[in-house]
Chains A and B, each alone.
Chain A
Amino acid sequence: GPKVLQIPSHQIIDMGQMVTLNCDPVSNHLYFYWYKQILGQQMEFLVNFYNGKVMEKSKLFKDQFSVERPDGSYFTLKIQPTALEDSAVYFCASSLDRADSDYTFGSGTRLLVI
């Protein structure tokens, strides 16, 4: 079936540095999401994005976080500066038409901040 690709699969970064996580969503999907998962536990919503704008964001989406999708390119999550507590697996997802429709998830980016 259609896939969401996430690049890189793993990233190790020094605390305080900037990191960009990249997501290539399903081609005809219009809604994009980032979720954070720690140690295989609960999936925590960060942000969703539609038509070039942030639609909703959670308390976990700190000021150091930003998202964008320049035309035809990756949907990105940027963290600047990173903190130790940002270490987690970040999952990108996309859906076709509504934020409550079926999501397709990527395989995640495992981020370790040291």
Chain B
Amino acid sequence: QQQVRQSPQSLTVWEGETAILNCSYENSAFDYFPWYQQFPGEGPALLISILSVSDKKEDGRFTIFFNKREKKLSLHIADSQPGDSATYFCAASNSGTYQRFGTGTKLQVVP
């Protein structure tokens, strides 16, 4: 079964806008949530991550908001740039087990 879900499947925003990518999960034992950025022809690269003890994590233009009760999180990309156009994966893991990846959101930033 799909343990980590992402929406929307694809998203188009104008340059300068804030892109919001959503993620939800089923297993309440998950406690570590990395987000990866993948460009065509490349492997995923870690962008930002959060532990379940926090409800927010910021790194420059990238912010994760985490709601443990609802088992949801979101990645906000402020001041989106054309270079941010990529596929973004949310992942989840717990207690030393492997990371489960979501279905991905393909982001396009239009100049």
Write the residues of chain A forming the contact surface with B, with a CB cutoff of 8 angstroms.
Answer: 4, 33, 35, 40-45, 48, 56, 91, 93, 98-108
Whether A99 contacts B46 in the complex (CB less than 8 A), given A42-B102, A42-B104, comes out as no
| Pairs across A and B, CB under 8 Å, 9 listed | A33-B98, A43-B101, A45-B98, A45-B100, A56-B97, A91-B43, A99-B97, A100-B96, A100-B97
Query: Interface size bucket, B side?
Result: 20 to 34
Residues in A whose Cβ lies below 8 Å from that of B7: none
Stretch among B16-24, B55-63, B71-79, B87-95 lining the A interface: B87-95
CB distance from B26 to the nearest CB of A (A): 15
How far does the alpha carbon of A107 sit from the alpha carbon of B41 in the complex, in Å?
Answer: 7
Q: Which of B1-60 contact A (CB under 8 A)?
A: 31-32, 34, 36, 38, 40-46, 49
Name which of B36, B43, B104 has the most chain A CB atoms within 10 A of its CB: B43
Beta-carbon contact of A99 and B102 below 8 Å: no
Beta-carbon contact of A56 and B98 below 8 Å: yes
Beta-carbon contact of A40 and B87 below 8 Å: yes
Closest B residue by C-beta to A108: B43
Residues in A whose Cβ lies below 8 Å from that of B36: 105
Q: Which of the residues B31, B43, B49, B103 comes within 8 Å of A102, measured between beta carbons?
A: B49
How far does the alpha carbon of A40 sit from the alpha carbon of B31 in the complex, in Å?
Answer: 26
CB distance from A104 to the nearest CB of B (A): 8
Beta-carbon contact of A103 and B46 below 8 Å: yes
Give the 9 A-B residue pairs with the shortest CB-CB distance, closest first.
A105-B43, A100-B93, A43-B101, A100-B32, A98-B96, A42-B103, A99-B96, A107-B43, A105-B44
Name which of B40, B41, B98, B104 has the most chain A CB atoms within 10 A of its CB: B98
User: With an 8 A cutoff between CB atoms, is B67 at the interface?
Assistant: no
Closest B residue by C-beta to A42: B103
